Amino acid sequence: MKTQQAINEFLHSRISNPNLSELTVPWYQPKLQRFARVCPKLPKDPKPIEAFLSTVISSPATNLNYFNALRAFFRFISERHDIHNPMARMHAPHSKKKSRRATLEPAEEMRLLESVPESKLRDRAILTLFVDSGVRSSELAGLRPQDIGMETVYVSGKTGEREVPLSEETRRLLLLTIAGHGQQDYVFRGHKGPLTRYGIYRIVSGYMRKVGIQGPKLGPHRVRHAFGKGYLVNGGDLRSLQLLMGHTNISTTQAYADLAIHDIIAKHHQFTPLRATHAAAQGSLDKVQAIKEAEAILKESTDEPKGISGN
């Protein structure tokens, strides 16, 4: 089977999948096209693939991206055509753990919400929904009126459908937004129809710049990261956060615990049992010292010479 034919089949399957991001194909395409130029015929064993990967001289993260793209491609082709997967026993190259991008502090989120003029109801609803739920921009773009419940909203993303809780304020803004444009297809609309992911990105990043939030990463995903961090800092648990954010693997959710480490350290300093132990010990020392001082005063009063009475 020709490699280019297999790549076209794979990319078409990505395009036709409604749960995948519109950036999926542009991510896969250049990597797979480069592979097709080196291996015009689909290899049956790992050696040609390993030889190709050895020519990708770049950062460890880029090398891992090429490996992952090829692994997804060969997994799809082997399952679709019931043929041997030459990458089945290949191991991914080592890549250093990346630190997650910066998030937003609560004060920055408040400035973000307060920066929206009262006349921009749609924009306020968008920002409030992001801050309140941590949904993805594609999930927000696909939101329909019938997806809004009494206390939750149904979203559909790359990991399928899920139900996400909403605050009453967020629900009210969503309903007002629908009433404002009178359309019944999508909740969020622009001048020419439903808002796209790119349109939502422009709105969010614009307000971020307006309130002085620094880049380089501006947009809805940064607010999503802030939701994950804030949820844990405020007492949430990893399992419920995984369900809220639609993570397939709990290890993805675990990364938000690393984000919250500075807040956790501050809470530790405030609530550590050692502080209470010291306070109790200090209280005991204060009592002992008070007793000693009282005994000393009493002793001084009994040791004083009696005064000479006059005639």
CA 126: distance to chain centroid? 17
- What per-residue confidence (pLDDT) applies to 215? 77
Contacts 24+ apart (CB under 8 A), 233-237: 233/260, 233/263, 233/264, 233/267
Burial (0-12, 13-18, 19+ Cβ within 10 Å), 10: buried
Check: CB of residue 70 under 8 Å from CB of residue 38.
no
Nearest Cα residue to 104 out of 241, 179, 245, 214? 214
Low-confidence stretches of the chain (pLDDT < 50) are: 306-311
- What per-residue confidence (pLDDT) applies to 278? 58
Determine the 3-state secondary structure of 2 from DSSP.
strand
**DSSP symbol at 145:** G
- What per-residue confidence (pLDDT) applies to 306? 46
pLDDT in tens, 107-117: 999 999 999 99
- What per-residue confidence (pLDDT) applies to 234? 86
pLDDT in tens, 233-266: 888 889 999 999 998 888 888 888 876 666 667 6
Can you tell me which residue has the tokens 């797979």? 32
- What per-residue confidence (pLDDT) applies to 98? 55
- What per-residue confidence (pLDDT) applies to 290? 62
Examine residue 216 and say whether the peptide bond preceding it is cis (omega within 30 degrees of 0): yes
Residue 103, Cβ neighbours under 10 Å: how many? 21
pTM of the model: 0.61
Check: CB of residue 162 under 8 Å from CB of residue 155.
yes
Give residue 84's identity as a one-letter amino acid code.
Answer: H
Check: CB of residue 223 under 8 Å from CB of residue 105.
no
- What per-residue confidence (pLDDT) applies to 310? 40
